[in-house]
Amino acid sequence: MFETTPDKIPEGLANVIISAIGQKPNLEDFSELKLSEWGTIISNPETFQTNLDGVFAIGDATNQGTDIAVRAIGEGRKCAESVDNFLNGKSDEVGKTNWFAKSEKTAEDFADYKKQSKIAPLTEKSAKSEALRCLECGCNAFTERRCKLLKYANMYDVNPERFEGEKHDHKCILCGLCVRVCDNVEKAEMLGFTKRGFGSTVEFFGDLKHCEKCGKCFDICPTGEMDNYKL
């Protein structure tokens, strides 16, 4: 086993190299916190509250210990919401699980994408090419926190499962904002409603080469549904 220090990098031959990090939190000044058998802080995985009222803990210092950075970042975002609710007296909303929809993907969904082997090392040209092939991880409106549909669905405790019958497989709420901004602001008249009733949707009309691609219909969409349209 090779041990590295800031001023010492060992050299040697090996058949297999396993990178390992040994660390544990220094809780010398936090004796009142309840700890796990591994010496990490026990915190609620949903609310991140510890055994002390008003004390929250996240990251490598908690529960299972060392994990990937992405998980710690995600915990930081969720914990911030719990702390905000706690400080504003909304104790009943601390750790509340928001409702959102998930969809399962199969190989057929990616049939149009050409499979390629990994490229290493990356040159500037190959890096740009790989970035263009990157698949979107779900709804941009959700990740950018600009989906009003999700905001109000959670504000009013929506529960779609209590409704029977056909459900929309898209997020358009037929508000018409995209249609109006295209007609009244840009004077392009490229968008309009089709069909009637439950099947009504917003679609592009005419030759898209006349669309100026101003992006205002995308910006004004309150749910991010316009992000699914490719111009």
Per-residue pLDDT of the chain (231 residues; tens, 9 = 90+): 566 666 776 777 778 877 666 677 888 888 889 988 888 899 988 889 899 988 999 988 888 888 888 888 888 888 888 888 888 887 665 555 555 566 677 888 778 777 777 766 778 888 887 777 666 556 666 665 677 777 777 777 777 777 776 666 677 888 889 999 988 888 888 888 888 877 788 888 777 777 888 888 888 888 888 876 765
pLDDT for the residue numbered 92 = 60
pLDDT for the residue numbered 168 = 65
pLDDT for the residue numbered 107 = 81
Closest CA to 226 of 168, 152, 171: 171
Superfamily of domain 14-97: FAD/NAD(P)-binding domain (3.50.50.60)
pLDDT for the residue numbered 56 = 93
pLDDT for the residue numbered 38 = 83
pLDDT for the residue numbered 27 = 83
Q: Are 231 and 209 in contact (CB under 8 A)?
A: no
**194 backbone dihedrals φ, ψ, rounded to 5°:** -125, 155
**84 backbone dihedrals φ, ψ, rounded to 5°:** -60, -45
CA 181 vs CA 20, 141, 184, 185: distances in Å = 56, 19, 5, 5
What kind of fold does domain 161-228 have according to CATH? Alpha-Beta Plaits (3.30.70)
CA 186 vs CA 29, 47, 122, 217, 226: distances in Å = 62, 46, 42, 10, 17
Looking at the chain, which residues constitute the CATH 3.30.70.20 domain(s)? 161-228
Looking at the chain, which residues constitute the CATH 3.50.50.60 domain(s)? 14-97
